[in-house]
Structure 1
Amino acid sequence: MPALVLLGAQWGDEGKGKATDLLGGSVDYVVRYQGGNNAGHTVVVGDQKYALHLLPSGILSPGCTPVIGNGVVVDPSVLLSELSGLNERGVDTSKLLLSGNAHIITPYNVTVDKVTERFLGKRKIGTTGRGIGPTYADKINRVGIRVQDLYDESILTQKVEAALDVKNQILTKLYNRRAMAVDQAVEELLGYADKLAPYVADTVLVINQALEEDKVVLFEGGQGTLLDIDHGTYPFVTSSNPTAGGACTGAGVGPTKISRVIGILKAYTTRVGAGPFPTELFDEDGEALRRIGGERGVTTGRDRRCGWFDAVIARYATRVNGLTDFFLTKLDVLTGWEQIPVCVAYEIDGKRVEELPYSQTDFHHAKPVYEMLPGWSEDISKAKSFSDLPKNAQNYVKALEEMSGAPISAIGVGPGRDETIEINSFL
């Protein structure tokens, strides 16, 4: 059963789109299993750059069926806009499948997200303001709107009424905002029904039948391990489970069907939004990483916080995801440094700690313990094999592999589809 999970092993933005796209030609299905349009993948094909937010990266691979699973929260306007944009560029999007059980991001979810974040002020989480968290909250509170509800006006109206009973109390009495009208929300949501209908399917059945037929299915996570609602740097996390276990619940497959779990690992570390970040740099090196790496959020447009590679986080990602392989991206960005620091442990209250502390307080106070590795100055963007890399670049990769606890099976040496060194096949 060739089912693979591909996920971020840091705080997101590791280059998952490039990795998914690399596998796209050999994969029959690519399935997004969590998150929403708060995720973003940049895929470069030839001289064309595509910024994907909600759609699986497999949408760009002819012959591959892209699937939005039941664990994803879907903003219909964003989905339709993204499909339209790709169609205008000549990309065939007709094979997309959308789970009827996926939850809809409603207009009132977006409103609640924005006003809540503003209300928190200095205590804000750093959300994207796209309604992701409130939609997952509605799902858990059992007042959520699912895609299938768009095709039953009576059920849709009842559910919107139930959700707004509480939300309008909060909007008017706590935030001093105007109440939202039930009929207006229902009308807007019903307007998407016909446009989405060609894509709606029982994706759990489709995916499991594909696996039974020995098709290759790739499960693609958004965000990253350290943003997982259960296993990330809570509360500065997303509202879903980007870790490997999320693929089972978010796509409807059993864990015994997954044969490989691939973690995407940037050759340094970045994160967007608030929260602890032990190796964060506030000097010229941090600015250089941001500039050379083009570190700006695909979805948010915010500059990413940049720091050196953190092996403690990588080991943690290996453990909680059961990683079998790493795909190391953006190695080329590190070209030009004489020495490259790598965080091998933390110092907390004067003690050396080599594993991620479970206490949020300890993690906030963690100071990186660095090991210096020799850098390289040669251009590596044309390298086609591991032996083509300068010796110091090879040693850097080997050191990261040993520290992280899983083999590095592919290396990104540039943004292009063909700028990848494949050491071991993922299939």
Structure 2
Amino acid sequence: MANVVVVGSQWGDEGKGKLVDWLSEQADVVVRFQGGHNAGHTLVIDGTSYKLALLPSGVVRGKLSVIGNGVVIDPHALVAEIARLEAQGVKISPEILRVADNATLILSLHRELDALREDASPAGTKIGTTKRGIGPAYEDKVGRRAIRVMDLANMSTLPAKIDRLLTHHNAILRGLGREEITADAIYNELESVADQILPYMEKAWYMLDKARRAGKRLLFEGAQGALLDNDHGTYPFVTSSNTVAGQAAAGSGLGPNSIDYVLGITKAYTTRVGEGPFPTEQQNEIGEFLGTKGHEFGTNTGRRRRCGWFDAVIVRQTVCTSGINGIALTKLDVLDGLDEIKICVGYELDGERIDYLPASQGAQARVVPIYETLPGWKESTRGARTWAELPAQAVKYVRHVEELIGAPVALLSTSPERDDTILVQNPFQD
């Protein structure tokens, strides 16, 4: 039995929700290991949509679900999300949801600082943040001044921690000409939510280690995509955490030997939201076609996604940086009806051909995609559940993607419905 990590192999929004729901039904424990409530999954079960931001996908299936230490948690957003799902009939209790005691909390001051800095950034330097406080919360975490979940259990120690936090944040506010924040305001903010969070608090690493040793199947799910990784993505137009598969170990408190299979969720074309380089972006009728047919809007932000051709260079790079064993190729049906389909197979940078995305911001902005053109198909792939149901040109497209990225297709998704999937290899039975 394998423990599986699910990562997005592009810039996120690859359709992870359907796949993690399918996998969570087979898992015993589902672990969210990074990010905040700026990204999440949409699950469609029996015609009902569940939009998740912080909660692991397992909660909808009644599976033990863990928010790991690598996640930054807005406690009020978490309480609101629990209430929202319970209104949809999903029962969430401490028996199925546990929150790492050493996870960092997002506070109102983080949201305010996030918005202030983004709004003050000159044109061309904006990151495209969702202004939900994720970045500033991670900054406080590595700056060793964060308030963590466990601190809610001992309110008497909070004043000193808040003073340390505000020494930093009020200096920034003074520099921006803004009103300073009082310690009482932060204390009251935390006190108002502590009793609602503490029942879920857990030594997550300890509990997960016991589950692993007992032979339980663990599913690690991340948010966003590998190209938004703080180290390996299109820096600085990235998120504030590591999104590659290796973070599953650090963000849950388990060692890397706990990971047996890495599944990279990969869209049959490419999208991204926010600012930053996007070599294969199509700001034309092709981009409009993909965005409209693919319903490309953010799950939790509603932002329209930028769309372009499949970029084999970045996915091949993610196969390396995340150690991907196999991919789940999604949204193949969106390509139905195109006369021809292009795939980026390399870049030209300053007159030289390269087969990787450079780390330099300037170089990323200068790369020019090199395309191969494949014939499209007019028949529908939507709802196909066997290879035999796919048009010949669609099969050729999928096989060529496998060759270019150096990883096999383990699953092929042909619609948002969970049963419309061609299973080649079950990651849990690696």
TM-score, normalisation: structure 1: 0.98
Contact persistence 1:8–1:225 (CA under 8 A) = yes
Partner of 1:67: 66
Distance 2:71 2:168 in 1: 24
Which one-letter code corresponds to 1:199 in the other structure?
Y
Shift of 1:49: 1.2
Partner of 1:352: 353
Distance 1:358 1:87 in 2: 44
Shift of 1:371: 0.5
Distance 2:239 2:85 in 1: 27
For the aligned residue pairs, the C-alpha RMSD in angstroms reads 1.1
Partner of 2:404: 403
Partner of 2:32: 32
What's the % identity of the aligned pairs? Answer: 48
Contact persistence 2:4–2:220 (CA under 8 A) = yes
Q: Provide Cα deviations, 1:394-415, integer angstroms capped at 9, x if missing partner.
A: 1111011111111111011111
Moved more, 148-157 or 310-319: 148-157
Contact persistence 2:173–2:179 (CA under 8 A) = yes
Contact persistence 2:230–2:241 (CA under 8 A) = yes
Could you say what secondary structure the match of 1:121 adopts? coil
Distance 2:64 2:387 in 1: 32
Which one-letter code corresponds to 2:291 in the other structure?
R
Contact persistence 2:385–2:422 (CA under 8 A) = yes
Partner of 1:91: 90
Distance 1:317 1:387 in 2: 30
Partner of 1:125: 127
Partner of 1:192: 193
Partner of 1:163: 165
Which one-letter code corresponds to 1:305 in the other structure?
R
Distance 2:51 2:271 in 1: 19
Distance 2:420 2:82 in 1: 27
Which one-letter code corresponds to 1:73 in the other structure?
V
Distance 1:409 1:81 in 2: 36
Could you say what secondary structure the match of 2:240 adopts? coil
Shift of 1:382: 2.4
Could you say what secondary structure the match of 1:345 adopts? strand
Contact persistence 1:13–1:223 (CA under 8 A) = yes
Alignment of 1:8-407 (within 5 A): 8-62=8-62, 64-94=63-93, 95-122=96-123, 123-172=125-174, 174-407=175-408
Q: Provide Cα deviations, 1:193-242, integer angstroms capped at 9, x if missing partner.
A: 11112211111111111110111001111111110001111100011111
Could you say what secondary structure the match of 2:211 adopts? helix
Contact persistence 2:410–2:425 (CA under 8 A) = yes
Distance 2:354 2:111 in 1: 40
Distance 1:47 1:80 in 2: 25
Could you say what secondary structure the match of 2:122 adopts? helix
Distance 1:159 1:11 in 2: 36
Shift of 1:424: 1.3
Distance 1:403 1:223 in 2: 23
Distance 2:186 2:357 in 1: 44
Distance 1:166 1:208 in 2: 36
1:7 is the counterpart of 2:7? yes
Shift of 1:79: 0.7
Figure out how many residues of one structure are paired with residues of the other and give that number.
425
Shift of 1:393: 0.8
Distance 2:113 2:139 in 1: 11
Contact persistence 2:103–2:149 (CA under 8 A) = yes
Shift of 1:185: 0.9
Contact persistence 1:386–1:423 (CA under 8 A) = no
Contact persistence 1:2–1:214 (CA under 8 A) = no
Query: Any stretches of 5+ residues in structure 2 without a counterpart?
Result: none
Which one-letter code corresponds to 1:81 in the other structure?
A
Contact persistence 1:46–1:416 (CA under 8 A) = no
Could you say what secondary structure the match of 1:377 adopts? coil
Shift of 1:121: 2.9
Distance 2:236 2:122 in 1: 15
Shift of 1:2: 2.4
